[in-house]
Amino acid sequence: MRLMRKSLLTLCSLLLAVSVLVPLTTVHAADQKWINQVWSEYKSYNKKTVNAYNNYQKQVDKKYKAFYNASHASLDQLEKKVLEDQKQWDQKLRADLEQLKLKYEGNRDVKDKLTQYERFINPSYLNGPMWKYANAANRNYLNSTLWKLSKEMNEDYLNSWMWTYKKTITPSYLNSSAWKFSKTVSESYLNSPMWKLRNGSSTSYLNSPMWKYKQGKISKATAKSQYGKLFKEQTTAISKGNAARKSEITKMASGTQKKIDELYKETVVILEARREEALKSISDLRIEIAGEGLQWEALLVEKP
């Protein structure tokens, strides 16, 4: 009798255990499905966001390269045009000097003026008219007109406009807009929004909503609430951060282009002015010598 009673108690205990275990197994399966869904949705969001960032960075790099190439092509073309003009005038004026020397050989009244004329037309004569014109168009001459333009277009010249633009869009340059952009969408960068979202979506990260839920520390409803709040906060942070970085990059690109375009126009005007001043000085002196000056047309800027 005692043995039978003990057997019945044991059987009841087993039945009770089974009755508890069966529903727990069912709940666990449903929970795991939701856990997998959360992780899958995170991975999908991460992939979409990172792909969008990569495509944007490619577009930014392409736009910069196109602007850089176009700017330098304009600079090279301007330089070539002015240097060819200087070469032509150098040949023309040297030939003219020889003709004047032959014509006024032995004329003491114009001897000094011919010497001055020779200096005026010499691009190597310090502070002479052609020297000023030549140096204004020399991009290697410190602080010359063309040097200033060339410097601002040089992406390797510290703090130049093109250097600043280049650094702004370079993800590897610390604290640049592109660097901040890349870190915002990086799931491996400590405390970035994507890093927080990844950890919050994982059951392996200590004290994340999903970890607490899997450990049975909070209910599914609480886990959904906490995770929903975290997802909204971090995706909003990513969206706002990305929008801010795009705005900074767009502003930098348009601002740099505007400044370089304005400096280019200013450079053209100054070079034309240096040329005009040089030729007028030489022409006025020639009038004093021979009674007739030089004839020329504008090179870069049409006269009003």
Q: Write out pLDDT tens, residues 173-202.
A: 999 999 999 999 999 999 999 999 999 999
**pLDDT for res 302:** 74
> What is the model's pTM?
0.86
**pLDDT for res 23:** 43
Residue 162 has pLDDT above 90, yes or no: yes
Distance CA 40, CA 96 (A): 84
**Domain definitions of the chain by residue range:** 32-290
Distance CA 164, CA 240 (A): 24
**Number of C-beta neighbours around residue 286 at 10 A:** 21
Q: Write out pLDDT tens, residues 125-145.
A: 999 999 999 999 999 999 999
Q: Write out pLDDT tens, residues 90-127.
A: 999 999 999 999 999 889 999 999 999 999 999 999 99
For residue 11, name the pLDDT band (cuts at 50, 70, 90). very low
Average pLDDT over residues 265-291: 98
**Number of C-beta neighbours around residue 49 at 10 A:** 20
> Phi/psi class of residue 142: alpha, beta or left (left: φ > 0; alpha: ψ in -120 to 50)?
beta
Average pLDDT over residues 202-228: 96
Q: Write out pLDDT tens, residues 17-67.
A: 444 444 444 444 448 999 999 999 999 999 999 999 999 999 999 999 999
For residue 304, name the pLDDT band (cuts at 50, 70, 90). low
- The length of the chain is 304
**pLDDT for res 303:** 64
Q: CA angle at residue 188 from 184 to 192, to 5 degrees? A: 35
CA 184 to the chain's CA centroid: 18
Distance CA 268, CA 262 (A): 10
Distance CA 207, CA 230 (A): 13
